[in-house]
Structure 1
Amino acid sequence: MSLLTVEGLEARHGLLRAVRGVDLALGEGETLALVGANGAGKTTLLRTIAGAHRAAAGRICLDGAEITTLPAHRRLQRGIALVPEGRQLFTGMTVEENLRVAEGRGRAGPWTLATVLEAFPQLRPKLKARAGDLSGGQQQAAAIARALMSNPRLLLLDEVSLGLSPVAVDQLYVSLQALLAGGATVILVEQDLGRALRVASRVVCLLEGRVTYEGAAHATTREQVMEAYFGMAGGR
């Protein structure tokens, strides 16, 4: 059985259909790279899976149980954690306070303050610093670490490398690759196609809210994805 199943999912912003009939299935320990141009519906899809945006139609199931109408905090308790675009840290609070916010709000599990600092050692000397004073890369690490403190079964990462320096992205991906090697289940929205294909098990491309390409990452070429980006490939 798939950990996550999405069937015929639709989501709207007013009259705009941002997600149109999307079907997805994700197994435990799998990494799905979600790619597409700006405005393709990637962020809305992640937010709808996490419960931060209401589904207009379709079904979302976690471990075979439907969660389509559950609010976001109930989905967090069941193991879905979203790291949103823009990080949304509490900038006036310390890094440690930001991490502690998620403690006890999700599930019991291996992720604690000690283990997230092992995964993201760049945060250790910044624990008492205000989150708003961190660099972009440190803020992104703190946002992912905060999500891990809820011990998610499914981690949704939106625009991991957006706006970061190449050095910061490299450092962040060292930690992410360790997470993935440890069996984390992840949906990753990433503009850097090369990185996405290197870390993912599968890749899905969205165009105007629809899936236009899906395939194994190791067998997917940049040309195939670019065709799907611009609507030149056959969709499902």
Structure 2
Amino acid sequence: MSLLRAESLTARHGLLPAVREMALEIAEGEIVALVGANGAGKSTLLRTLAGAHPAAGGKIVFDGTDITARPAHQRVALGLALVPEGRRLFPGLTVDENLAVAARRARPGPWKPETVYEAFPALAGLRGQRASGLSGGQQQLTAIARALLTNPRLLLVDEVSLGLSPVAVDGVYESLTGLADRPTLVLVEQDLARALDVADRVICLLEGRVALEAATGSVTREQVTEAYFGLSRRKAA
């Protein structure tokens, strides 16, 4: 049974369609990599699922509940959380204070500030440091930790490795995929090799539509690349 299902989902920026009548299912416990070129609709899709961007059509069902018209804070209360592109931390607040913002509205569950710091030891020594003074990798870990404190069942992480050094990316992925109480994950990732390595399934978007969807063990990097650039569609034509 799917944890999240989208049916004919459409989202727009003004008159410009960014997500076009998309069908999508996410099973509980899996890791899904969402890939595609700039402008493919990845960030808009995640923001629409999380309630940060309005759906222009279709339906979003989370654990059997239609959440299409529900605001973002109600989706968080149901167990759906988003780590947005660019992290969106409060730069003048400390790591502790950024996490406290999420902890105030947390669902019941295993994630509390103490357990987050145990899971992300790299943050434990930075509790009193302002977010503006953190490195990119430290900011990403803080943003993920903040989302975990809401105790999500489904965590959407936009642009996991954007702007991070390879060492920082390694640290973020090691922390995220090694969680003892890991939620279901949907990760937007530009690095195809990384996406295929960590995910159970890959979904490639092209111009707001699903161009390819497959288990990572049954698809090659070349096939994903063809879908990424629309080459498979040109061959079919």
Normalised-by-shorter TM-score class? over 0.9
Amino acid at match of 1:197: L
- 219-228 or 137-146: which moved more? 219-228
Measure, in 1, the Cα distance between the counterparts of 2:227 and 2:30: 22
Matches within 5 A, 1:172-183: 172-179=172-179, 182-183=181-182
- Rounded to whole Å, the distance in 2 between the matches of 1:79 and 1:46 is 15
1:9 is aligned to 2:38 = no
Q: How many residue pairs get matched? A: 234
Look up the equivalent residue of 2:24 and give its one-letter code.
Answer: L
Aligned mates of 2:24, 2:106 — CA distance in 1? 24
Provide the C-alpha distance between the structure 1 equivalents of 2:20 and 2:182, rounded to a whole number of angstroms: 30
What fraction of aligned residue pairs are identical, expressed as a percent?
A: 65
Q: Is 2:216 the partner of 1:204?
A: no
Q: Which runs of 5+ in 1 are unaligned?
A: none
Give the AA of the match of 1:47: R
| CA offset digits 1:178-221 (Å, max 9, x no partner) | 03x64420110001111111111110000010000000011111
Residues 1:22 and 2:22 are matched in the alignment: yes
| 1:1-236 equivalent positions in 2, closer than 5 A | 1-179=1-179, 182-234=181-233
Runs of 4+ aligned structure 1 residues displaced above 4 Å come to none
Distance 2:196 2:9 in 1: 25
1-structure distance, mates of 2:42, 2:70: 20
SS of the residue aligned with 2:226? Answer: helix
Contact 2:110 2:181 in 1 (8 A): no
Task: Give the secondary structure class of the aligned counterpart of 1:126.
Answer: coil
Aligned partner of residue 178 in structure 2, secondary structure: helix
Shift of 1:143: 0.2
Contact 2:110–2:151 (CA under 8 A) maintained in structure 1: yes
Q: Distance in 2 between matches of 1:146 and 1:10?
A: 29
CA contact (8 A) 1:30 1:183 kept: no
Whether the aligned pair in 2 keeps the contact of 1:7 and 1:22 (CA below 8 Å) is yes
Distance 1:174 1:110 in 2: 19
Partners of 1:188 and 1:75 lie apart in 2 by: 18
> What TM-score, normalized to structure 1?
0.97
Contact 2:2 2:27 in 1 (8 A): yes
- Scaled by the length of structure 2, the TM-score of the pair is 0.96
Deviates more, 1:20-29 or 1:42-51: 20-29
1:26 counterpart letter in structure 2 = I
Give the SS at the match of 1:233: helix
